[in-house]
Amino acid sequence: MLASRLVLRSAVSLSSRTFCISSSCNQGKAPDVNEGNRDWLVSNVRNRLREIVGASTNWSDHQQAMEERTSLSSLLAKSQDDLPVKTAKDSYTEAYLPLGSDPTIREKYLNYHNSVRFGRILEDLDSLAVLICYSHTWNKELQRSPLSIVTALVDKIDMRKNIIYPDCDIKFTGNVTWVGKTSIEAKMHMSQFHEGAYSPVLDATFVMVARDPENKRAAFVNPLKAEGPKEEEDFRNGELNKDRRKELSKASLLKVAPTADERTLIHSLFLNTLDTQTVSFRSRKLPPNSLWMEDAKMKGLEICHPQERNIFNRIFGGFLMRKAYELGWANACAFGGCRPTLVAVDDILFQKPVEIGSLLMLSSQVCYTQDRYIQLRVHTEVLDPLTGQHNTTNVFHFTFRVDKEVPAVVPRSYGESMLYLDGKRHFDETMRGQA
> Which tens digits make up the pLDDT trace of 108-130?
899 888 889 999 999 999 988 99
**What's the pLDDT score for residue 384?**
82
The reported pTM is 0.86
pLDDT (average), residues 215-230: 95
- E strand or H helix at 225: strand 224-225
Extract the runs of DSSP E, i.e. beta strands, from 296-372.
297-303, 341-350, 359-370
Residue ranges and CATH numbers for the domains of the chain are 7-228 (3.10.129.10), 272-434 (3.10.129.10)
Extract the runs of DSSP E, i.e. beta strands, from 98-182.
148-159, 170-179
Sheet of 341-350: strand order equals 7-10, 93-97, 170-179, 183-194, 197-211, 148-159, 341-350, 390-401, 373-383, 359-370, 297-303
37 closest CA partner among 7, 73, 75: 7
**What's the pLDDT score for residue 45?**
63
26 Cβ neighbours under 8 A, 6+ residues apart: 101
Q: Is the pLDDT of residue 274 over 70?
A: yes
259-292 core/surface letters (b: 16 or more CB in 10 A; e: else): eeebeebbeebbeebeeeeeeeeeeeeeeeebbe
CB 167 within 8 A of CB 28: yes
**What's the pLDDT score for residue 113?**
84
352 closest CA partner among 383, 331, 386: 383
Q: What is the pLDDT of residues 56-65, one digit of tens each?
A: 667 777 777 7
**What's the pLDDT score for residue 7?**
44
C-alpha dihedral (158, 163, 165, 168), degrees to nearest 10: -50
Position with higher pLDDT, 46 vs 414: 414
